[in-house]
Amino acid sequence: MIPRSLPGMLVLGALFAAAAPAQSAPDGKQISAQGANGAPACITCHGARGEGNPAAGFPQLAGMGGRYLEEQLNAMANGSRVSPVMAATAKALDPAQRQAVAQYYAALPSTLDTDQLAATAMHPSKPADTGAWLATRGAWDKNVPACNQCHGPGGIGVGENFPALAGQPAAYIAGQLRAWRQGQRPPGPLGLMPAVATRLSESEIDAVSAYYAGLPTAAAQLAAQANAPAGAKQ
């Protein structure tokens, strides 16, 4: 038998449910500034504007693809991307929080001058300049495509899946290339990066990493030379 009071109980239950506050979506900006669930604030290492910290080897996050950033956080949380520094932070955040903070950084303006950087792709390079050659021409004798083919002219990044390389710390870029060689990062789009990384020598990894790390400064110098009065150019 159904108690006569059941309809009233259902009505009261519905009223209480309607009155209960809806759970708010995670705030990516707040997580970046204050941390969450015991995880430290992202700005501690990655800067107040997501600009990174080259001296300490912490990469820029601002303007990176949201999908890329979320995938990296998820990979560090589940261990498929080995990161002693980030693993605990990524695990502390739940999936919705990881998505929120990824989208927050994706929406921040990049600190890069993408026009200046893109122009460097037209600047001639020589085989002896190993880093520039690999970035702009590749090493087809080893089936290594130019880095710019996927990461954009001047390493400015392309879409949601190919992050910017320009201005990232050399130690960070080199560390990630070596991580792919050792199977410590997911292979990424089309499974390209482990194959590329294993075909590069140690000196080539260091050279191309240093090239991209110094590219914003080099791009600014090239732009200044191009804009200088004719008599001032050397």
pTM for the structure as a whole: 0.86
- Can 28-107 and 114-226 be said to share one CATH topology? yes
- Geometric angle at alpha carbon 67, from 63 and 71, rounded to 5°: 115
Q: Cα–Cα distance between 77 and 71 in angstroms, integer?
A: 10
Please tell me whether 122 is known to bind a ligand.
no
pLDDT, position 233: 53
Domain boundaries, the chain: 28-107, 114-226
Tokens 């199977």, residue? 183
Percent of the chain with pLDDT over 90: 82
Please tell me whether 1 is known to bind a ligand.
no
Q: Which residue has the higher pLDDT, 11 or 217?
A: 217
pLDDT, position 45: 96
Please tell me whether 123 is known to bind a ligand.
no
CATH of 114-226 among 1.10.760.10, 2.60.120.10, 1.10.3300.10, 1.10.10.10:
1.10.760.10
CATH number attached to the domain at 28-107: 1.10.760.10
Answer left, alpha or beta for residue 162, where phi above 0 means left and psi between -120 and 50 means alpha: beta
Q: Three-class SS string for the chain? A: CCCCCHHHHHHHHHHHHHHCCCCCCCCHHHHHHHCECCECCCHHHHCCCCCCEHHHCECCCCCCCHHHHHHHHHHHHHCCCCCCCCHHHHHHCCHHHHHHHHHHHHHCCCCCCHHHHHHHHHCCCCCCCHHHHHHHCCEHHHCECCHHHHHCHHHCCECCCECCCCCCCHHHHHHHHHHHHCCCCCCCHHHHHHHHHHHCCHHHHHHHHHHHHHHHHHHHHHHHHHHCCHHHCC
Quote the mean pLDDT of the chain: 90
Lowest mean pLDDT: which of 14-28, 32-46, 119-133?
A: 14-28
Mean pLDDT of the 48-72 span? 96
Closest CA to 98 of 82, 74, 132: 74
Please tell me whether 151 is known to bind a ligand.
yes
Q: Does residue 4 carry a pLDDT above 80?
A: no
Give phi and psi for 184, each to the nearest 5.
-105, 10
Q: Does residue 28 carry a pLDDT above 50?
A: yes
CB atoms within 10 A of CB 83: 20
Quick one: angle between helices 170-181 and 202-227, nearest 10? 140
Please tell me whether 147 is known to bind a ligand.
yes
pLDDT grade for 23, boundaries at 50, 70 and 90:
low
Q: Cα–Cα distance between 177 and 180 in angstroms, integer?
A: 5
